[in-house]
Amino acid sequence: MTHPIPARTQVAIIGAGPAGLLLGHLLHRKGVDTVVLENRDRPYVEKRQRAGILEQGTMDVLRATGAAAGMDARGLQHDGIELRFAGEAHRIDFPALTGRSVMVYAQTEVVKDLIALRLEAGAPLAFEAEALDISGIEGEAPQIRYRHEGAEHTLTAEYVVACDGFHGIGRRIMPEAGKRTFERVYPFSWLGILADVAPSCDELIYAHSPEGFALHSMRSPEVSRLYLQVPPDTDLAQWSDDRIWEGLARRFAIDGDWKLATGPITEKGITPMRSFVTEPMRHGRLFLAGDAAHIVPPTGAKGLNLAAADVTLLAAALVRRYASGDESGLDAYSEQALRRIWRAEHFSYTMTSMLHTSPDDDAFGHRLQLSQLDYIASSKAAATSLAENYTGLPMPGLDELA
């Protein structure tokens, strides 16, 4: 069931993706009033396919705050990944190197879990509520004008958090004065598929090949998620199911008898590859979190986890503000969040540039890639660095929210 949307709240949250829903969950548990506005309908939000890897810190937040029942029941814990290159496979053992692991659990499932918890708690959540304008962010009572159920409404809050993605209103409202953006567009995309076939691996495979990058992931023991590098102007209609499976098989090939299992493809899509960061992530009483502030290429599995880190940090700061009046965490939010964001941007860039084939047929660059992959496979120090970044840094603010 849905609940009435009040005209006033302490924290207004725009966007019911994982960032907005998790922030609302964390604050509601600590007695901070929130309203979540989402411009899409509930079925769309619950079916929106995105990331599927949860870092150790993201798992810790969900478990510590009572949001992990679905993850622990249906998620697939992974203790490593496999790097494939030059016809060989090399496993990176996460627990042995860092004592940490990751979880395969689709973003759609995280979102559904958090929606259910919010509605069960009676916390306001409005779907098909489009934010039209945000005003008064430099004062003490910012307002969101939004359209819902055919009428316009105004929501007054003490703080507004925009978790509404790259194209949302939150970042557009931020004043241009003092705002800086950084962007890198990569010269390739991913062709991704969902297939009704049991995964051909126990852990994710990241493959470097002369034909281009490929990734073997999964959504469940019965459903595989796979990607292969394609040019950015790729016409999806030119990729038949047979062509996709044949291309994947060649890129995953290693010396030995390993074979890629195939099955019915139920979904296809093209994902562009880019990096984006906006600074700062706060102006007055408006804060940015998740994709509203940053985008990473999916090679490093950081998008969802960065969003979780943003809102965990911000939630701890807001709880402190309402408990004691201490605003130091809010003042430090942007700087602290950006420190983690740039670390994740660098890791994602490193993984992307190390594994993808250059469209310029750069033989020198190709040999550098093989050298770096060989270094990771043969050096404990290099493997540890990859494992530490992949499984994620400690989650700031978690101790205050548990």
| 113 and 172 assigned to the same domain | yes
Report yes or no on 73 lying in a domain. Answer: no
Q: In the prediction, which pLDDT does 304 show?
A: 95
Report yes or no on 65 lying in a domain. Answer: no
Report yes or no on 252 lying in a domain. Answer: yes
Q: In the prediction, which pLDDT does 170 show?
A: 95
| 24 and 111 assigned to the same domain | yes
Q: In the prediction, which pLDDT does 312 show?
A: 98
| 265 and 292 assigned to the same domain | no
Looking up tokens 């590098």 gives 229
- Host domain of residue 266: 184-273
Total domains in the chain come to: 2
Report yes or no on 96 lying in a domain. Answer: no
Q: In the prediction, which pLDDT does 3 show?
A: 67
Q: In the prediction, which pLDDT does 251 show?
A: 97
| 251 and 324 assigned to the same domain | no
Residues annotated as catalytic (active site), given as ranges:
78, 206, 298, 302, 390
| 230 and 249 assigned to the same domain | yes
Report yes or no on 330 lying in a domain. Answer: yes
| 120 and 266 assigned to the same domain | no
Q: In the prediction, which pLDDT does 2 show?
A: 58
Which CATH number does the domain housing residue 265 bear?
3.30.9.10
Q: In the prediction, which pLDDT does 52 show?
A: 84
Please report, in tens digits, the pLDDT of each residue of the chain (402 residues total). Answer: 456 899 999 999 999 999 999 999 999 999 999 999 999 999 999 987 677 899 999 999 999 999 999 999 999 999 999 999 999 999 999 999 999 999 999 999 999 999 999 999 999 999 999 999 999 999 999 999 999 999 999 999 999 999 999 999 999 999 988 899 999 999 999 999 999 999 999 999 999 999 999 999 998 899 999 999 999 999 999 999 999 999 999 999 999 889 999 999 999 999 999 999 999 999 999 999 999 999 999 999 999 999 999 999 999 999 999 999 999 999 999 999 999 999 999 999 999 999 999 888 789 999 999 999 999 999 999 999 999 999 999 898 999 998
| 264 and 208 assigned to the same domain | yes
Which CATH number does the domain housing residue 112 bear?
3.50.50.60
Report yes or no on 378 lying in a domain. Answer: no
| 248 and 327 assigned to the same domain | no
| 172 and 227 assigned to the same domain | no
Report yes or no on 393 lying in a domain. Answer: no
Report yes or no on 398 lying in a domain. Answer: no
| 269 and 316 assigned to the same domain | no
